[in-house]
């Protein structure tokens, strides 16, 4: 996976060198969009949705990751890079998967731009491999690295889970940071932004209360995911246990036989009523585990991205997470 991010970063740097060479004779970036509104660019859905809830019609907001697209395969286009360089407020995750952004931000001639990175708003957690999970040693992320790279004697860098928004309490911290940035950029509309933020935070606190209420009254404490698991912040926030086929940013979609057997045994042994999978997944692994264990499957939303259908229907972080409340109740009882 590190090799993939390096290649993506290199490709972005080459694109940048050509783009900014072409634009070098042009005037500096405008501070606002053509219609006079604050210009906001967000890399993925959660930050995009937070921004549109806070800013409403007072800003032009763009999401780089198209609805329905797999986040880890996103490649920025030249238009995306120019949009980032010229915006007033840039919202990103801030993790390794977006390391290509460093070159974009360093090259942008836009001193007035504000950047809010979600991982800077919260206390981050190291990635982990849970019991039975397809371990990192089985991944193919090192297939292009030489033996000297793998055995150079240096300790592997710590890697932090990037899916910070899956905890509603973290979402509140990110929302407050976006509000602060907007108020500084556009003080004339600060009262509007603050009112929207206060209303939204109250709804997020209600969501948090709903999760806690369900968990407090549940028969069990274990979630089984026959899929990737980008919900580490969620389970840590609510004291839940979990088993899953892959870590959150795994590249693979086919677990080993040992991993599948382990998950089937846990479902049977704990009498887990639902095997979960995440959005935009083919859920074949979850289906196979559920069939072997004699139970059913259900989707649990991580909100990393949203389907084109749900996006068109106006689904939001809040509506998707509220749907998780009912799924959680079923999965834990």
**How many CB atoms lie under 10 A from the CB of residue 88?**
24
- Beta carbons of 121 and 164 less than 8 angstroms apart: yes
**315 half-sphere exposure, CB direction, 13 A CA radius:** 18
Q: Say what the pLDDT of residue 306 is.
A: 94
The region that residue 215 occupies, defined by phi over 0 for left and psi between -120 and 50 for alpha, beta otherwise, is: alpha
Residue 92 and residue 80: Cα distance in Å, rounded? 13
SS (H, E, C) 192-232: HHHHHHHHHHHHHHHHHHHHHHHHHCCCCCEEEEEEEECCH
Q: Give residue 18's pLDDT band: very low, low, confident or very high (50, 70, 90).
A: very low
Residue 231 and residue 255: Cα distance in Å, rounded? 18
Model pTM? 0.86
Q: Say what the pLDDT of residue 277 is.
A: 97
- Beta carbons of 297 and 283 less than 8 angstroms apart: yes
Q: Give residue 156's pLDDT band: very low, low, confident or very high (50, 70, 90).
A: low
What are residue 114's DSSP bridge partners?
89
Q: Say what the pLDDT of residue 95 is.
A: 86
Residue 130 and residue 222: Cα distance in Å, rounded? 13
Q: Give residue 270's pLDDT band: very low, low, confident or very high (50, 70, 90).
A: very high
Quick: pLDDT tens for 24-82.
Answer: 444 444 455 567 799 999 999 999 999 999 999 999 999 999 999 987 778 888 999 99
Q: Where are the alpha helices (DSSP H) in 97-189?
A: 101-107, 147-150, 168-185
- Please state whether beta strands 59-63 and 89-92 pair in parallel, antiparallel, or not at all (unpaired): unpaired
Q: Give residue 22's pLDDT band: very low, low, confident or very high (50, 70, 90).
A: very low
What interhelical angle do 317-331 and 190-216 show, nearest 10? 10
- Strand stretches in the chain, DSSP E: 38-42, 59-63, 89-92, 114-117, 222-229, 241-247, 274-278, 296-300
- Beta carbons of 100 and 5 less than 8 angstroms apart: yes
Question: How far is the CA of 224 from the CAs of 50, 61, 73, in angstroms?
Answer: 29, 36, 25
The DSSP letter of residue 275 is E
pLDDT value at 162 more than 50:
yes
Q: For the chain, which domains are there?
A: 2-120 (3.40.50.1980), 218-331 (3.40.50.1980)
Segment 275-293 mean pLDDT: 96
């Amino acid at each position: 996976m590190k090799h993939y991010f390096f290649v993506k970063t290199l490709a972005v740097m080459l694109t940048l060198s050509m783009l900014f060479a072409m634009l070098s004779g042009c005037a500096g970036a405008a501070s606002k969009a053509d219609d006079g509104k604050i210009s906001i660019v967000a890399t993925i859905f959660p930050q995009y949705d937070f921004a549109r809830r806070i800013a409403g019609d007072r800003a032009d907001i763009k999401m780089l990751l198209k609805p329905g697209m797999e986040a880890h395969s996103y490649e920025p286009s030249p238009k995306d890079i120019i949009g980032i360089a010229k915006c007033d407020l840039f919202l990103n995750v801030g993790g390794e998967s977006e390391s290509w952004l460093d070159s974009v931000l360093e090259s942008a001639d836009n001193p007035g731009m504000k950047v809010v990175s979600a991982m800077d708003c919260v206390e981050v957690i190291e990635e982990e491999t849970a019991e039975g999970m397809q371990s990192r040693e089985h991944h193919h992320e090192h297939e292009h690295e030489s033996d000297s790279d793998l055995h150079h004697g240096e300790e592997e860098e710590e890697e932090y889970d990037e899916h910070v928004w899956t905890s509603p309490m973290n979402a509140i911290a990110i929302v407050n940071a976006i509000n602060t940035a907007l108020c500084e950029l556009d003080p004339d509309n600060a009262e509007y932004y603050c009112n929207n933020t206060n209303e939204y935070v109250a709804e997020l606190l209600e969501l948090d209360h709903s999760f806690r209420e369900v968990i407090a009254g549940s028969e069990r404490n274990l979630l089984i995911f026959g899929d990737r698991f980008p919900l580490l912040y969620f389970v840590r926030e609510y004291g839940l246990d979990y088993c899953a086929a892959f870590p959150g940013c795994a590249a693979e979609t086919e677990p080993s036989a040992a991993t599948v057997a382990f998950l089937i045994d846990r479902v049977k042994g704990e009498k887990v009523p639902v095997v979960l999978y995440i959005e935009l997944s083919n859920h074949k692994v979850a289906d196979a585990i559920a069939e072997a264990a004699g139970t059913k499957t259900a989707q649990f939303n991580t909100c990393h991205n949203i389907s084109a259908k749900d996006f068109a229907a106006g689904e939001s972080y809040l509506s998707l997470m509220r749907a998780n409340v009912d799924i959680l109740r079923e999965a834990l009882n």
